[in-house]
A and B are shown apart, each in its own frame.
Chain A
Amino acid sequence: MSDEQDHKLEAKSDYVADASSVSTPDIDAVPAAELPDQELYHSHSWWTTYVFSQDAKYIGIQYALTAIGTGLLGLVLSWLMRIQLAFPGLGWLEPSSYYQFVTMHGMIMVVYLLTALFLGGFGNLLIPLMCGARDMAFPYVNMLSYWAFVVAVLVLLASFFVPGGPTGAGWTLYPPQAITAGTPGYNGGIILMLISLILFVAGFTMGGLNYIITVLQLRARGMTLMRMPLTIWGIFTATVLAMFAFPALLVGCLMMTLDSLLGTSFFMPAMVSLGEKLTHEGGSPILFQHLFWFFGHPEVYIVALPAFGIVSDLLSVHSRKTIFGYRMMVWAIVGIGALSFFVWAHHMYVSGMNPWFGFFFATTTLIIAVPTAIKVYNWILTLWRGNIQLSLPMLFSLGFIVTFLNGGLTGLFLGNVTVDVPLSDTYFVVAHFHMVMGIAPILVIFGAIYHWYPLITGRMMDETLGKIHFWITFLGSYAIYFPMHYQGFVGVPRRYFEIYDSPYIDTSTLLLNKFITIAVLIVGAAQLLFLYNLFASARLGKKSEKNPWKANSLEWQTPQMPPEHGNWGKELPKVYRWPYDFSVPGAKEDYIPQNQPPSEIIGAKVEKT
């Protein structure tokens, strides 16, 4: 910026300062309140406070703990699978158990951990606080949403205990095999899985309506959409995607339940099974794939967009710098969300659909790379010449950028039909999606937990344990997934329960499998450190200051920290600017909270936002 421009800015703020000292200080004016203050539900007993809570903060924590608990099961399942893959000679797992674990691991991680944690957990905790509301719009419905989720999880877990065990159809649950003899859990586990998903969708819809309405209708005075933290933009857009994507899953699940229980043939063609002709005929298996992926691809972004949003805020706060290109970031989030509904069939290149479809979907898929790349550039430019604090949230955010870039680039390979066909169903695909929608969002989740932990408990998590956790998790993930890219290139197929020495499999694969498994065990064990840190710090952690990261967004500006019921005490906050005013020239502190009135920061060269 030239000196002349600097001078002009200063002159302008001088003028403002003069005006305020003479006449009434109406530079602090915000639009009048449109709505009366929200009426809150006040709990009267232990049950209504901690169990059937209607306070979004408690519901968020309930969601998060349930999701993490379920996710731990997914983690243990991955250990069991990896041990089987590394030592096929041991006979550690039955083939059927292996498939069941693959399926449950996938479904748990994608739906019951990531979706529930980002939207149910962080959504509930952060939306009212960051928008400056007292609670969600419909606290009672919000409570129902959580309990529907609990029932969904219980039904899912119940499938481990039915005859035949959980379904082994793979997380995509493709018919006809999902409900045909020969697939584990084809007549018991799959039904529970489908019912569980239907319950999850119902529960999520109740929560999602809350998130959307709270963001659209319950913002504080002065909080325009373009002053919302990107976290809220990410969660909001992801919720909108979920509201439109989950219906396809619901319909697919319902139809498959009927196929299995009533003997209809929505997805079932005429088949011979165990030497007998089945009664099904005339159904279309491809139809399920379309329904599933119309849900499944937006689902990737339901997980990714909140991560994008959260990481933008973490990077900005912990490098004490304005987010680069805020508006572009918002439009990129919205654009990615919209495009995600037009790419689903890139998961179906080898399904036998019309090749012209593949051409169309490859094009739309590659177009998504544009807004995504904008986001990655903007994150890097946010860091550029920032005052980077290597705190735990920052470390995890940096880990996210690298990992997301890695996973994103392999996505470009797989988005092209001609490259995808030979790579389809190999470990390359496994490595790609674990990098891009497994490790990358999980790193953000860790960063976010370290960042917002003081907001929940009033204490900090242990830094040293956190750093050990970070380095093992970050480097370990690369030890796990980099070799898998190579395995994919040499053609090792995924979903094989036993890879042994054969002319078709490269010998290096066997050794790599052992290496990967050791890395998996170590990385998994490191998560125990995290869990210890998470629970022990609630009691033993260092007491946190009121705004430990010196952040601008509203959640740190509550009268009490941690915020109490109703969040804001007597008076709701008024918002004067966006949450990214860090290191503003002329300001006393290197941060200016969103609710600090302009009259208190006269002389600071704040951009108008």
Chain B
Amino acid sequence: MSDSSLENLPKGWKSVPSDLGSDQTAFKGVQWGKAMMWIFLLSDTFIFSCFLISYMKGRASTVVDWPNTSHVFSLDFMGVPVPLLLIAIMTFVLITSSGTMALAVKYGYEKNRKMCGHLILATAIGGLIFVGMQAFEWSKLIHEGVRPWSNPFGAGQFGSYFFMITGFHGTHVSIGVIFLFIFARKVYRGDFDKGRRGFFTTMKSDYVSIEILGLYWHFVDLVWVFIFAFFYLW
């Protein structure tokens, strides 16, 4: 990409009409894969919005009372039930992994292969811990009798929405973790330095892929914040 032709473009808001009015690309200097990820995430935002709006509607119109969430989600710590304990740790881990991901992107662009690989691995492990704790929370709730169709604490829809939405989010995290491991291997192997061709796509690898994966990862974290707010704080 010839960056010189992109340097003279207008900045700030003026760039919007100028970019949209131009030929070739609407997002100047943005790699295709990155633009694709943004649009995919926009679409995914609609999926999660539909889930959460359905949840609000479902919660608002049940005939039985909604369970008391601070009671349901509390964890016994040295004999004392502490509400939100597990979830606070989970959220902390996930947000931290976003930080390591951001650093991985930075080191990737600096072609610091080792640091980049370590940080991606750290991110993947963070995600794995999150999924593990989620599995723990699910099994704890299941032991207490919460099922997708009913639960001893109140409206049956609680379990339905909880398992569906956290499950859908957990699937996103798990997919992200799988890709993080794959990418860690690719970074360590030097694929992005050598421009090694992809196994499926036969296209050359580039460090921008790490940023694209990072976008996905940050999105998954951001969605978690909303799920956290709607399920645990409401």
**B25 near A217: Cβ-Cβ < 8 Å:** yes
B46 touches A265 (CB 8 A): no
Contacts of A32 in B (CB 8 A): 2, 5
Residues of A within 8 Å of B28, CB to CB, are: 34
- Residue A138, interface by CB 8 Å: yes
B85 within 8 A of A: no
Least distance between B40 CB and chain A CB atoms (Å): 6
Inter-subunit contact A282/B20 (CB<8 Å): no
Cβ contacts B22-57/A at 8 Å (1 or 0 each)? 111111111011011001101110110111001001
A251 touches B27 (CB 8 A): no
In chain A between 252 and 279, which residues have their CB closer than 8 angstroms to a CB of chain B?
Answer: 252, 254-255, 258, 262-266, 270, 279
- Interface segment, A111-119, A158-166, A220-228, A398-406? A220-228
Chain B residues with Cβ below 8 Å from A224 are 21-23
User: Which residues of A lie under 8 Å from residue B57 when comparing CB positions?
Assistant: 284, 287, 290
Q: Write the nearest CB–CB distance from A371 to chain B, whole angstroms.
A: 20
- A137, CB-defined interface residue at 8 Å: yes
Question: Is A384 close to B, CB under 8 A?
Answer: no
Q: Does B155 contact A (CB under 8 A)?
A: yes
Give the segment of B59-67, B68-76, B98-106 that binds chain A: B59-67
The residues in A between 206 and 251 inclusive whose CB is less than 8 angstroms from any CB of B are 208-209, 212-213, 216-227, 243-244, 246-248, 250-251
- Choose one: B46, B58, B149, B168; the contact of A279 (CB below 8 Å): B149
* Pairwise interchain contact B51-A222, C-beta atoms closer than 8 A: no
A212: chain B residues at CB < 8 Å are 36, 39
Contact A205 B43 (CB under 8 A): yes
Asked whether any CB of chain A lies closer than 8 Å to the CB of B160, the reply is yes
Identify A283's interface contact among B40, B43, B157, CB under 8 A.
B157
Find chain A residues with CB under 8 A from B40 CB: 205, 209
A227 to B40, CA, bound (A): 26
Q: Which of A41, A225, A226 contacts B202 (CB 8 A)?
A: A41
Does B80 have its Cβ within 8 Å of any Cβ on chain A? Answer: no
The residue of chain B having its C-beta at the shortest distance from the C-beta of A251 within the complex is B50
Give chain A nearest CB distance to B148 CB in angstroms. 5
Known: A221-B23, A225-B21, A254-B164. A282 touches B157 (CB 8 A): yes
The size class of the interface chain B forms with chain A is 35 or more
B231 CB → nearest A CB, Å = 16
The verdict on A35 contacting chain B, using a C-beta distance below 8 Å, is: yes
Contacts of B23 in A (CB 8 A): 30-31, 219-224, 227, 575
* A213 touching B39, Cβ below 8 Å: yes
Contacts known (A39-B203, A258-B160); A282 close to B54, Cβ less than 8 A: no
Judged by a CB distance under 8 angstroms, whether A342 is at the interface is: no
CB distance from B80 to the nearest CB of A (A): 33
Kindly report which residue of chain A lies nearest to residue B40, judged by CB atoms: A209
A219 touches B63 (CB 8 A): no
Measured in the bound complex, the distance between the Cα atoms of B161 and A64 in whole Å is 38
B233 within 8 A of A: no
| A217 CB to nearest chain B CB (Å) | 5
B200 at the interface (CB under 8 A from A): yes
Do the beta carbons of A282 and B43 come within 8 Å of each other?
Answer: no
Q: List residues of chain A with CB within 8 A of the CB of B108.
A: none
Report yes or no: B50 in contact with A247, Cβ–Cβ below 8 A: yes
The 8 A-B pairs with the shortest beta carbon distances in the complex, nearest first, are A247-B46, A264-B160, A251-B50, A247-B47, A216-B26, A263-B149, A140-B201, A282-B62
Starting from the known contacts A219-B25, A225-B21, 13 additional A-B residue pairs (CB-CB under 8 Å) come to: A31-B23, A220-B23, A224-B21, A243-B39, A247-B43, A247-B49, A250-B47, A254-B168, A262-B148, A263-B149, A264-B148, A264-B149, A266-B160
Residue numbers of A with Cβ under 8 A of B are: 30-36, 39, 41, 137-140, 205, 208-209, 212-213, 216-227, 243-244, 246-248, 250-252, 254-255, 258, 262-266, 270, 279, 281-284, 287, 290-291, 294, 575
Can you report 21 A-B residue pairs in the complex whose CB atoms are below 8 A from each other? A31-B22, A34-B25, A35-B1, A41-B202, A137-B36, A140-B200, A213-B36, A217-B25, A217-B30, A219-B25, A225-B20, A243-B43, A244-B42, A247-B43, A251-B54, A258-B148, A258-B160, A266-B58, A282-B63, A290-B57, A291-B54
